[in-house]
Amino acid sequence: MRAAPTILHLDMDAFYASAEQAAKPSLRGKPVIVGGLGPRGVVATASYEARRFGVHSAMPTAQARRLCPNGAYLIPRFTLYRAVSDHVMALLRELSPLVEPLSLDEAFVDLEAGGAAYDTASARAAGERLRADIRRGTGLSGSVGLAGSKMLAKVASEEAKPDGLLVIEPGTERELLAPMPVRTLPGVGPATGDHLRRAGITTVGDLAEAGEDELVRLVGRAAGVGLFRMALGLDDRPVVAERDAKSVSVEDTFDVDLHDRIRIRYEVQRLADRCVQRLRASGHSGRTIVLKVRRYDFSTLTRSETLRGPTDDPAVVREAAGRLLDGVDTTGGIRLLGVGVSGLTDYTQEDLFAQSLTLAAAPAGNGGDSGAAGAPEALEEPVTEGAAPEAPAAPERRWAAGSDVRHAVYGPGWVQGSGVGRVTVRFEQPGSPPGRVRTFLVDDPELEPSDPIPLVGRPADGPA
């Protein structure tokens, strides 16, 4: 514990949803829900307007639609969120070299290490300056907690939401924590909370009064000792600077279980390409390819293959993922697929350029977990000699709600919805007035997918 509140915790407010409201002027002040849109989708973030209807993160999207039928339901746009996050994290590093990101929208900062603060007044000034810089640079709001420990700084930022700042003065921890629910403390989930409630412990003050021995008896030694220390406001964990990412992965949950082996292989190849895009965007390559498969009965399998050197070649990743798929029984149906790359490094081994050709000439075999390098299956069906295999039919263009588009005549916009062969687009962009809505055929040649228009660097024009 420190004698001054010089550990800062930043948590952006309803980050994904607020970024969408800032990017789409017609959604300002309206309920926005970001997440999976299919029957098995899950809410990632809900705006504060949507939360008034009872919508919250990790809720099934179908349930959210029942609670808030008039909300705007949008797919996540991680390219946009990553750009905003990079800007915010850069602001944090101007305060201190010790920045510990927890996610795209959340981080701890050691203000003492950077000389940005040494007492309550200077810590508060640094926090307010940070919030203003974030608003100025992105148009979004963040809540800040300041305390003498990481745990208390996080508690403070949660209490400050939305768009606030709270300082917990050292020496006032127990008084502030005592009336709070036990679920306020990090690591106390629903199961532990229910177990403590049945023992008559519902607040942090109850934990402190119960004593260490009683808590050890109730939840075990490690958890009991930790709970008692947190109830007293004790936390000596240092802020740890950002570490390199250990892996990059993408996955999709399907609205209907996949049974067709050709379709499953196609989805794995598509995921491999997306994974490589994310890998390259991070400036890395990797040695180990990982396939994740969740079957119809919710059983989940992971298979991996380690290459002889790091790669960011999409053909190599596709082939490795395909070999791993060969060793998986997909009978009964597949509800989720994922492809990842681990063993990351910031260089690519040059001789891997020819790896796909080398592997294609190797004897056939299954990759499995062993890392064996068998050849991918050349064709799913026999083809008459001299005839080219029939090209698969081009799938109908799909336009997910919230995705970015550009029209040759009307310019940039975003998809409000699609169905029965048509797609509805609202033409607006960050900083513009709410735009007009137009409807097109889904295969309109003048309508194309587009990259998000950046929020960073645009002047703030009101709460997001």
Euclidean distance between CA atoms 99 and 113, whole angstroms? 10
The first and second tokens of residue 431, run together, are 């900083």
The first and second tokens of residue 214, run together, are 């009683």
The secondary element (H helix, E strand) that includes residue 163 is: none
Are 46 and 20 spatial neighbours (Cβ–Cβ below 8 Å)?
no
* H helical segments located in 232-260: none
Task: Give SS3 for 423.
Answer: strand
Euclidean distance between CA atoms 55 and 36, whole angstroms? 14
Q: Is 106 a catalytic residue?
A: yes
Identity at 276, one-letter amino acid code? V
Euclidean distance between CA atoms 15 and 166, whole angstroms? 19
Euclidean distance between CA atoms 403 and 399, whole angstroms? 7
Euclidean distance between CA atoms 111 and 8, whole angstroms? 7
CA quadruple 171, 175, 177, 182: dihedral positive or negative?
Answer: positive
Q: Which residue of the set 20, 49, 100, 106 is catalytic?
A: 106
Listed residue (27, 39, 26) closest to 66, CA to CA: 39
Count other C-beta atoms under 10 Å from residue 278's C-beta: 17
The first and second tokens of residue 252, run together, are 């999709």
Catalytic site positions: 106
